[in-house]
Structure 1
Amino acid sequence: MVETAASPSAAPMFVEAPARARGYEKRAVDVFFAKARAAFEADEPGTLRAAEVRGIAFPLVRGGYAVGPVDAALGRIEDAFAAREREHALSRLGARAWVAETRDTAQIVLDRLTRPRGHRFDRVGILHYGYRVDEVDVVADRLSAYLATGDPVTPEQVRAVAFRMQRGGYRETQVDAVLDAVIEVMLAVG
């Protein structure tokens, strides 16, 4: 886990973004990482969940922390919380129930991803912007191969996916929810 800054004069947690670039607001990052550290050390189920770590967003400002190192640290923290959640669920549900639950989630996601190209998600109206359909469909094909046959894909690759926008594209919230579900399945199976 990354060390938190103990006081304003303490060393910063991360490197700053280059002078002309924007980075994550330092205070927001420092507060979140302190909260994550406390939750991890408390070791109480549900205090902070992997999905919450994955969904965190920080304001972009000049003079903030460089985005890449912060995102990499968030990925490691998410992995740690997911491993802990898996351990708690296995002890509470048992291995058979945990596997069945994960398999059900994977099947729901696979059913969505194997729909015909161009029809996997709802579209926004023609006057609005959504994710580029062709780019999402390429990622959907790769993820469905992962879920169906075990083709290699890592959580980091899914976290790093970014799509350009187009008028009448796929609805962002649906695509993001499926990507989150894929990551949850990946982290659940370890």
Structure 2
Amino acid sequence: MNEQKATVAQSRAERRNERGTTGVTETAQHRPQSAPFARVDRKAYGYNVKQVDQFLARARAIYTAQDSAEKALTSNEVREMTFDAVRGGYEAQAVDAALDRLEDVFAQRERDALISGKGEDAWLAQIGRLSSVLRNRLHRAPGERFRRPRRNVRSYDVGDVDALFAELLEYFERDKPLSVDVVRRAVFGSAQGKDGYEEQQVDVFLDRVVELMAAID
């Protein structure tokens, strides 16, 4: 698999967290009136059209309750959805943006369902537990929030990650406005050794931050 195809084939979460890289160079073509997204050039790689269309159709059916027998779709499943890379497929960035919005819709539905079924106190308790876990790490000293990478393990620049954490602390502690998309699309430089935080650990944490922000915003 060439480098471009490998990049498109990553999950949305991995693409969003491929911080410090430019991602796929996509050349969008005009799309047919009935198509929900533009396609990349025939020689470029994009998301598999059939897979995207089928997933969105399933999500739409679940959201509108047209298919009550269908297993419920969660915001986490939307966040982790993957599509194969194919030549001439849908433009990845456009699909990712649409699925980010869809994730927010299902997160809000999950919140509303919990409040309706168990009351607002149950929702607040759930949010409180997650918030407490996240705040504990946010309040660690800069440079000490995540483990250092092992040899040959990819890592993010400590200063870049800590800068985002400063914004998150303002958001959680002082109600300073911050869009969840800032976290989703954050870009960190790469680093080695003591200058970096282990990439996977940072990504997992930020996915939980996105989960919390999508639930409360």
Shared fold (TM-score greater than 0.5)?
yes
Map 1:142-181 → 2, pairs under 5 A: 142-168=167-193, 169-181=196-208
Counterpart selection for 1:85 from 110, 132, 136: 110
Name the CA distance, whole Å, in 1 between partners of 2:80 and 2:131: 20
Map 1:133-144 → 2, pairs under 5 A: 133-144=158-169
The Cα shift of 1:136 comes to 1.3
Name the CA distance, whole Å, in 1 between partners of 2:126 and 2:112: 14
Map 1:115-134 → 2, pairs under 5 A: 115-134=140-159
1:40 aligned residue: 63
Query: Conserved in 1, the CA contact under 8 Å of 2:45 and 2:89?
Result: yes
1:182 aligned residue: 209
With normalisation by structure 1, the TM-score equals: 0.83
State the AA in 2 paired with 1:38.
Answer: A
Find the residue that maps to 2:64 and give its secondary structure.
Answer: helix
- Compute the RMSD of aligned alpha carbons: 2.4
Gaps of 5+ in 1: 1-8
Which stretches of structure 1, 4 residues or more, deviate above 3 A after TM superposition?
A: 18-22, 43-46, 59-62
Find the residue that maps to 2:155 and give its secondary structure.
Answer: strand
Gaps of 5+ in 2: 1-31
Query: Conserved in 2, the CA contact under 8 Å of 1:22 and 1:60?
Result: yes
Name the CA distance, whole Å, in 2 between partners of 1:46 and 1:137: 39
Alpha-carbon displacement from aligned partner over 1:32-76 (angstroms, at most 9, x marks no partner): 212222222238697110111112233344312112221121012
Deviates more, 1:41-50 or 1:66-75: 41-50
1:3 aligned residue: none
- Are residue 14 (structure 1) and residue 41 (structure 2) matched? no
The Cα shift of 1:30 comes to 1.9
Map 1:27-106 → 2, pairs under 5 A: 27-42=50-65, 47-106=72-131
2:132 aligned residue: 107
Name the CA distance, whole Å, in 2 between partners of 1:46 and 1:133: 41
Aligned residues: 182
C-alpha change, 1:128 and 1:178, in structure 2 (3 Å) is closer
Name the CA distance, whole Å, in 1 between partners of 2:55 and 2:187: 24
C-alpha change, 1:21 and 1:114, in structure 2 (3 Å) is farther
Name the CA distance, whole Å, in 1 between partners of 2:156 and 2:71: 32
Find the residue that maps to 2:132 and give its secondary structure.
Answer: helix
Instruction: Work out the percentage of aligned pairs sharing the same amino acid.
Output: 38
The Cα shift of 1:19 comes to 5.5
With normalisation by structure 2, the TM-score equals: 0.74
